[in-house]
Amino acid sequence: MSDKNDTNDTNGANDGAGWDDGFDTGLLEEELRQAAAVLDPLPPALLQSAVDAYALYDLDARVAELTFDSLVDAIPVRGATDVPRMLTFSAGGVTLDVEVSAQGLMGQVLPPQPARIEVLGGPRTTAALTADDMGRFAADTTPAGPFALRLRAGDEVVTTEWLRA
Amino acid sequence: MEHREVGALVRSAVDGDAAAWKAIVEGLGPLVWSVVRAHRLSDADAHEVCQTVWFRFAQHLGRIREPEKAGSWLASTARHECLKVHRNARRLMLTDDPHLLDRVSEDGSPEQSLLEAEEAEARSESVRRLWQEFEELGERCRQLLRVLIASPPPSYQEVSAALDIAVGSIGPLRQRCLRRLRARLEARGAT
């Protein structure tokens, strides 16, 4: 991406001191910015994927927020290596417990109830699952990359916060 | 991006304006990318973290409380996801080969063809040297500068959210880091 920032004052104005020890820090920063644009630019495919993500905007869907993530909230088990990732999502009265491991994905809807569950990977669905009367569901593939679950129980639709497996 | 401009674009996107969404992505996508690169993620991790951040932003769009601070929201979400990747990597380190950090971009330099070959070579050589010295700066400086050099340049509020450092310390730290970079370049006779 080309940038139109030929004025090196952008940051000089920010901190009120573009000149320092006889050299223009704003100029060096700008050189570095241009180097980054050449050597480490935002990949076009990624930009496109972010543009396409607008399709995920749904004002009506309820979002189940991540309330527990074993990666952050649990004390690591010493010596244990292949520990499943435990996640809990909550939206109002519905809770979703999910376990992600190399073997796949399993979980439970609480309070227990039958539900249809879609595994989303970006704007498309990658798998359709069914929760039994106990609210339990499972898939034998681990989501690759960002994923979310869309749950339909009765006339309620809940989507979990996007997360990386 | 200007706070007011971001706020207006977010509000338009909430109302269904896809062009506004695209403008947000183009304005703040480079910031998210910079935050991820500042945390030294591999290419694969960097891609997935960026996607996650944008997917989640789209999901929360209608609930963003302060639309003009969307840049800070994106930056701090990116930071949190990067920290999770590091945590996960540490956990897997026992069984997996430690991931070799990817070298810079996979796309090479698209600008090269536009320039006269000879001039391009001299220029790209000095750009490469600058980048190498930058990469070898201390971790703190490298991280701060990588976020600051996003294009368009981020606000200090966004930088603060990206790295969890006080707004007031960014200016002085930036000065010191650029001074250090300059000194390294001079020591190599590269100026």
CA pair distance A136, A117, nearest whole angstrom:
11
- Asked whether residue A92 falls in the same domain as residue A152, the answer is yes
For residue A2, being part of any structural domain is answered with no
CB contact under 8 A, B151 and A145: no
State the total domains in chain A. Answer: 2
- Asked whether residue A144 falls in the same domain as residue A111, the answer is yes
Please state the rounded mean pLDDT for residues B13-41.
96
**Higher pLDDT, residue B125 or B18:** B18
CA pair distance B69, B78, nearest whole angstrom:
14
- Asked whether residue A77 falls in the same domain as residue A14, the answer is no
Structural domain boundaries enclosing A82? 55-164
Identity at A164, one-letter amino acid code: R
| B59 vs A17, A49, A162: nearest CB | A162
CB contact under 8 A, A40 and B105: yes
For residue A63, being part of any structural domain is answered with yes
Looking at residue B112, the DSSP 8-state letter turns out to be G
Cβ A136 vs Cβ A108: under 8 Å = yes
- Asked whether residue A13 falls in the same domain as residue A69, the answer is no
Kindly report the nearest CA distance between residue B68 and chain A, in angstroms.
Answer: 18
Overall residue count recorded for chain A in this entry: 165
How do strand A156-160 and strand A62-69 relate by DSSP bridges? parallel
Burial of A32 (0-12, 13-18, 19+ CB in 10 A): buried
For residue A3, being part of any structural domain is answered with no
CB contact under 8 A, A54 and B145: no
| DSSP-derived 3-state class of residue A153 | strand
- Asked whether residue A151 falls in the same domain as residue A121, the answer is yes
Q: From chain B, pick out residues whose CB is under 8 angstroms from the CB of A64.
A: none
% pLDDT > 70, chain A: 82
Kindly report the nearest CA distance between residue A62 and chain B, in angstroms.
Answer: 10
- Asked whether residue A94 falls in the same domain as residue A158, the answer is yes
Cβ B43 vs Cβ B103: under 8 Å = no
Phi-psi region for residue B24, left (φ > 0), alpha (ψ -120 to 50) or beta? alpha
- Asked whether residue A13 falls in the same domain as residue A83, the answer is no
Is the predicted pLDDT of residue B184 greater than 60, yes or no? Answer: yes
Kindly report the nearest CA distance between residue B15 and chain A, in angstroms.
Answer: 10
- Print burial letters for B27-64: b (CB count within 10 Å at least 16), e (below 16): bbbbbbbbbbbbbbbeeebbbbbbbbbbbbbbbbbbeb
Cβ A32 vs Cβ B134: under 8 Å = yes
- Asked whether residue A29 falls in the same domain as residue A62, the answer is no
- Asked whether residue A81 falls in the same domain as residue A143, the answer is yes
Please state the ipTM of this predicted complex.
0.83
User: What's the confidence (pLDDT) of residue B108?
Assistant: 45
For residue A35, being part of any structural domain is answered with yes
Is the predicted pLDDT of residue A14 greater than 60, yes or no? Answer: no
Phi-psi region for residue B62, left (φ > 0), alpha (ψ -120 to 50) or beta? alpha
Kindly report the nearest CA distance between residue A86 and chain B, in angstroms.
Answer: 13
Structural tokens at position B179? 């001074």
pTM of structure: 0.83
Overall residue count recorded for chain B in this entry: 191
CB contact under 8 A, B49 and A164: yes
Is the predicted pLDDT of residue A13 greater than 50, yes or no? Answer: no
Model confidence over A51-107: pLDDT tens digits? Answer: 999 999 987 789 999 999 998 887 766 666 678 899 999 998 899 999 999 899 999
From A58, which residue of chain B is nearest by alpha-carbon distance? B59
Identity at A84, one-letter amino acid code: P
Kindly report the nearest CA distance between residue B3 and chain A, in angstroms.
Answer: 14
Give residue B91's pLDDT band: very low, low, confident or very high (50, 70, 90): low
| B153 vs A1, A10, A159: nearest CB | A10
Q: From chain A, pick out residues whose CB is under 8 angstroms from the CB of B63.
A: 63
- Asked whether residue A144 falls in the same domain as residue A86, the answer is yes
**Higher pLDDT, residue B103 or B152:** B152
User: What's the confidence (pLDDT) of residue A77?
Assistant: 65
Alpha helices in B3-154 (DSSP H): 3-14, 18-38, 43-60, 70-92, 117-135, 139-148
For residue A15, being part of any structural domain is answered with yes
For residue A4, being part of any structural domain is answered with no
CATH number, domain of A130, equals 2.60.40.760
A43 closest CA partner among B49, B75, B169, B74: B49
Is the bond preceding A44 in cis, omega lying within 30 degrees of 0? no
Q: Mutating which of B9, B32, B54 best tests the A interface, going by the most A Cβ atoms within 10 A?
A: B54
For residue A1, being part of any structural domain is answered with no
CB contact under 8 A, A35 and B130: yes
Q: From chain B, pick out residues whose CB is under 8 angstroms from the CB of A56.
A: 55, 58-59
For residue A157, being part of any structural domain is answered with yes
Model confidence over B92-151: pLDDT tens digits? Answer: 544 333 333 333 334 444 455 555 666 767 778 889 999 999 999 999 999 999 999 999
- Asked whether residue A108 falls in the same domain as residue A85, the answer is yes
| DSSP-derived 3-state class of residue A8 | coil
CB contact under 8 A, B59 and A63: yes
- Asked whether residue A143 falls in the same domain as residue A104, the answer is yes
- Neighbouring-strand partners of residue A88: A68, A97
